[in-house]
Chain A
Amino acid sequence: GQNIDQPTEMTATEGAIVQINCTYQTSGFNGLFWYQQHAGEAPTFLSYNVLDGLEEKGRFSSFLSRSKGYSYLLLKELQMKDSASYLCAVMDSNYQLIWGAGTKLIIKP
C-alpha cells in the first residue's frame, strides 16, 4: 500500500532550527509537496521537490532523496508564527496526492 510517515508533533525553541522528516512508499513518484497549515486556515504551499537535492527558499529548505523515499523540511531562525502543522504529500504515478498526517510544530519562547 501507499504510505507517508511524518512525526506527529515536534517542539522547538524560537530562533533555533528544526527538521521535519517525511518518508514515503508510493506507487510511482511525481513530486513531493510541503504545506504549512495554521489552525482554521487552508494549507499554504511551501515547496515542491521532484529531483534529488536541497531547495532553499528563505528560512525554509526542503530536501529530497528519491532512492531513499525520504524528504525533510528545514526551518531556520524559528519564529513564533511558525507554530503550525506541516503536511507532506506525494504525487503518485496517477497524479494523485498521498497525504501524510501532518506534523504539529510547537515553538516555545
Chain B
Amino acid sequence: GAVVSQHPSWVICKSGTSVKIECRSLDFQATTMFWYRQFPKQSLMLMATSNEGSKATYEQGVEKDKFLINHASLTLSTLTVTSAHPEDSSFYICSARDLASGVTDTQYFGPGTRLTVL
C-alpha cells in the first residue's frame, strides 16, 4: 500500500529557532499534500494544502509567513515552522493524495512529527 513518511519523528527546539519537517510519499506520486496539526485528543486541523510546483493554500488563521510550505517534487513537501514558540508545540501530520487515484479523495497519512518548543 501507499506509504508516507515524515522526518523527523520528534524534535525539541529552543524558542525562536526554525524547524523543518519533511513529508515524503515513498511509493507513489502525490500532486497534493496536506499539512495538519493535532492537539491531544482533538481533531486534526488542516493547516494548508500543498500542490506540487505552486504556492500552498493556507487555511484561515494559519500564518503563511510562520509556516512555510514547499512542495518541490511529486514526492516531497516540507513544512518549516519559523521562529517557533512554545504554543507551536504540537503533533504535525502530513498526508498525500495518490496521483493515480484521480478524483477520489484517498489520503495517506504520515506517522506525524511531535514538535516541542522550549
| In the complex, chain B residues whose CB is within 8 Å of the CB of A101 | 1
Pick the most buried of A43, A89, A95: most chain B CB atoms within 10 A of its CB.
Answer: A43
Is there contact, CB below 8 Å, between A42 and B44?
Answer: yes
> A35 contacts the other chain (Cβ, under 8 Å)?
yes
Complex-state Cα separation, A48 to B42, whole angstroms: 10
**Count class of interface residues, chain A:** 10 to 19
Is there contact, CB below 8 Å, between B44 and A96?
Answer: no
> B33 contacts the other chain (Cβ, under 8 Å)?
no
Is there contact, CB below 8 Å, between B109 and A44?
Answer: no
| In the complex, chain B residues whose CB is within 8 Å of the CB of A96 | 9, 111-112
Binary interface encoding of chain B residues 18-41 relative to chain A, with 1 for a CB under 8 A from any of its CBs, else 0: 000000000000000010100001
Binary interface encoding of chain B residues 76-118 relative to chain A, with 1 for a CB under 8 A from any of its CBs, else 0: 0000000000000000010000000000011111011010000
Pick the most buried of A39, A96, A98: most chain B CB atoms within 10 A of its CB.
Answer: A96
Distance from B108 Cβ to chain A, minimum over Cβ atoms (Å) = 7
Report the tally of A-B residue pairs with Cβ distances under 8 A.
Answer: 40
Distance from A103 Cβ to chain B, minimum over Cβ atoms (Å) = 12
Is there contact, CB below 8 Å, between A95 and B105?
Answer: no
Is there contact, CB below 8 Å, between B105 and A39?
Answer: yes
Is there contact, CB below 8 Å, between B41 and A42?
Answer: no
Distance from B34 Cβ to chain A, minimum over Cβ atoms (Å) = 8
Given A89-B109, A95-B114, A101-B1, are A42 and B9 neighbors across the interface (CB < 8 Å)? Answer: no
What are the 10 closest A-B residue pairs judged by CB atoms, nearest first? Answer: A96-B111, A45-B43, A42-B46, A99-B109, A39-B105, A44-B43, A97-B112, A43-B44, A42-B44, A97-B111
Sample 16 A-B pairs with CB under 8 A, ordered by A number: A35-B44, A40-B105, A42-B46, A43-B43, A43-B44, A44-B43, A45-B41, A45-B42, A94-B9, A95-B10, A95-B112, A97-B111, A98-B111, A99-B109, A101-B1, A102-B106
- Interface residues in chain A, defined as those with a beta carbon under 8 Å from any beta carbon in chain B: 35, 37, 39-40, 42-45, 48, 87, 89, 94-99, 101-102
- Interface residues in chain B, defined as those with a beta carbon under 8 Å from any beta carbon in chain A: 1, 9-10, 34, 36, 41-46, 93, 105-109, 111-112, 114
